[in-house]
Each structure stands twice: as C-alpha cells, then as structure tokens.
Amino acid sequence: MIESLRATCRRLLETGTAQVVIGYGQADPGKAVHPVFIRRPEDADQLTWNDQCYPNLVAYLKRKEVQSLGKAAIVVKGCDERGLIVLERESQIDRGSLYVIGIVCGGVGNPKLDKCKSCGAHRPRFANEILGESSLLQDGVGQKWQALEEFLTKSPSQRMAYWQNEFSRCLKCYACRQVCPMCYCERCLVDKNRPTCIDTSPTLKGNFAWHITRAFHLAGRCIGCDECTRVCPVGIDLRLLNQSLAKAAEEQFGYRAGMDPQAEPLIGSYSLQDKDGFIG
C-alpha cells in the first residue's frame, strides 16, 4: 500500500502530471504524522500512510504558498474528499488541474475516532486513482450524533454555562480556522477592524461571537473532519457546534455537505417548501 503510494507519487512527478504531491509523512515511527510536499521523484519515500494520518490535507490547497508550487496532486481519505467536493462546488478549486490520490481508509486513531465509526465515506468516490484495500470498518455503523445528543440532554441554562466555561479558555489563536479546509476567505471577518465586528481580545463576549461566527459560516458546509477540535490547544469540543448544524441540515433538508457533487450549496439555495413554523 505505502509502496504503491510512493510509486504513484514518483510517476506523477516524473511524467509532469503534478509538480507537487501533498501527502503524509512521518519522521520516525511513533512521531506525529505531518504533511509533506514532495517536489522531486527521489523524495517520494517520505510519503507514508497509517492510522495516525489525522490531518485533512485539503486545507493546504487554499494556501497561496502551496498554490505557487504548481499543479498539485493530493492524498485524501474518503472523508477528506468531501471537502474537495464542497470546494469545487464553491468554485474554490479547479478539479481539472488537481490530481487526487484517494486512499481507502479504515478509520484513523487508535482506538478509532468516533467520527470514523459513523463515517459514510471510507472509500473515495471521485479520485483519479484509488489505493488501498477494503475498509476495516463498515460505513456508518456508529451512532452519528451520539456526542451531540448526549449534550442536548442538558437544559439550555446548563448548556450556556458549559459553553461559557469552555469559551472562557479560548485563546483566540484561530487554530480552528487555520486548520479548516472550508475556511478560505482571504480576509476573515474577525480580522476586519473598520468597524470591529467581533471583539478581538479573548473576552467572553468576543469568544462567543467568534465561535458562533466560525460555526455558522460552516453551516451546510462542514464535512465533519473534526480537525478544529483536534487542534484546539485548550480542548474545546467544537464538533458539538458543527454537529448541531450538520444534523439540522440532514434532518430538515436531507443535505450532507460534500456527498453529492451536483447538489446546490445549502445556504446558497432555498426551497419554497422550507418550514417556517417559527416565523410569526
């Protein structure tokens, strides 16, 4: 599997199909997996694949310094590929000039992450090339909204107290934004200061405004990679917010971001049948 991945990388670079291959690398077994940007065929051996490959490499496609490396090939898991579909639908990437190496993934983490247990996309569907064996996990065997549903058993005031406690630790480092494959605004709302919309200092009000903004800008777009939660240095469980929007999108509109390449973006479209029972 790793050998065929490296061979593919070598081939792509030698034939000029791609100028850079974005994949996973690992300095030593046991060390953290990190992204690698392979530009020479002889470096292809840096590529690796194992169950520690958490990062969603799609996030790097939005970086100017990566774009400047030329035509890219990217290694994606089935779940990461959903991000490519959203970005393509929103005209953020040119799928024709991107070579996608899909990897059939049996779930990452040891033990497997919750998101992998309920993942509906272990096998990439639209990649130019699909590597790997059949998945270890069945698609969608886990409880998809388990964490959220447990959280929603709390009363509203308990929920508010919980988030106040969580957001009081937020440092406003914006790691959640930087790691997100869906956050691609050249200038983020939170960085705009004429006038200031969101308080930039890590006050409780500013933190609430930031996290509401971050979550809602992902409404109907979040692919549930949970990278924001993984990278949060103070361990805020942001996936609960993402899940509440994803659950509403699925239950009220039958929409799952990045599953159907033809589907209209949820927030960019409307239906005359949308329910408005809450509107007086």
Partner 1 sequence: MSVPQTFEPKIVAFVCNWCTYLGADLAGTNRLEYPANVRIIRLPCTGRIDFNLIIKAFELNADAVLVSGCHPGDCHYTTGNYHARRRWMLFRELLSTLGFDLNRIHFTWISAAEGKKWQQVITEITEKTREMGPYPYLAIPDASVSTVDHGESTA
Length of the chain (residues): 280
Which one among 229, 256, 257, 258 touches partner 1, defined by CB under 8 A?
229
Of 18-26, 57-65, 71-79, 208-216, the segment contacting partner 1 by CB under 8 A is 208-216
> Angle 173-221-233 (CA atoms, 0-180°, nearest 5)?
20
The answer to the question of residue 197 lying near partner 1 (CB under 8 A) is: yes
Q: How many C-beta atoms lie closer than 10 Å to residue 86's C-beta?
A: 24
Nearer CB in complex with partner 1: 95/112: 112
CA distance 19 to 6: 15
The answer to the question of residue 30 lying near partner 1 (CB under 8 A) is: no
> Angle 85-90-94 (CA atoms, 0-180°, nearest 5)?
70
CA distance 154 to 15: 57
The answer to the question of residue 241 lying near partner 1 (CB under 8 A) is: yes
The answer to the question of residue 31 lying near partner 1 (CB under 8 A) is: no
Residues 56-95, interacting with partner 1 (CB under 8 A): none
Residues 126-155, interacting with partner 1 (CB under 8 A): 148, 151-152, 154-155
The answer to the question of residue 194 lying near partner 1 (CB under 8 A) is: no
Under 8 Å between Cβ of 21 and 76: no
The answer to the question of residue 160 lying near partner 1 (CB under 8 A) is: yes
The answer to the question of residue 187 lying near partner 1 (CB under 8 A) is: no
Q: Which residue has the tokens 């509403």?
A: 248
Nearer CB in complex with partner 1: 69/209: 209
Q: Which are the contacts of 28, defined by CB distance < 8 A and separation ≥ 6? A: none
Structure tokens at 275: 């329910």
Which one among 164, 171, 191, 264 touches partner 1, defined by CB under 8 A?
164
The answer to the question of residue 109 lying near partner 1 (CB under 8 A) is: yes
Under 8 Å between Cβ of 78 and 122: yes
Nearer CB in complex with partner 1: 9/226: 226
CA distance 179 to 173: 11
The DSSP output letter for 129 is E
Q: Which residue has the tokens 């694949």?
A: 49
Least distance in Å: CB of 14 to partner 1?
36
The answer to the question of residue 166 lying near partner 1 (CB under 8 A) is: yes
Count, residues near partner 1 per rule CB under 8 A: 62
Which one among 236, 256, 257, 263 touches partner 1, defined by CB under 8 A?
236
The answer to the question of residue 165 lying near partner 1 (CB under 8 A) is: yes
Q: Which residues pair with 35 in a beta bridge?
A: 24
Under 8 Å between Cβ of 217 and 183: yes
Under 8 Å between Cβ of 254 and 115: no
User: Where do contacts with partner 1 occur on this chain (CB under 8 A)?
Assistant: 54, 109, 113-114, 148, 151-152, 154-166, 189, 197-198, 204-205, 208-209, 212-213, 215-216, 219-220, 226, 229-230, 232, 235-237, 239-241, 244-245, 247-249, 252-253, 266-267, 269-272, 274-276, 278-280
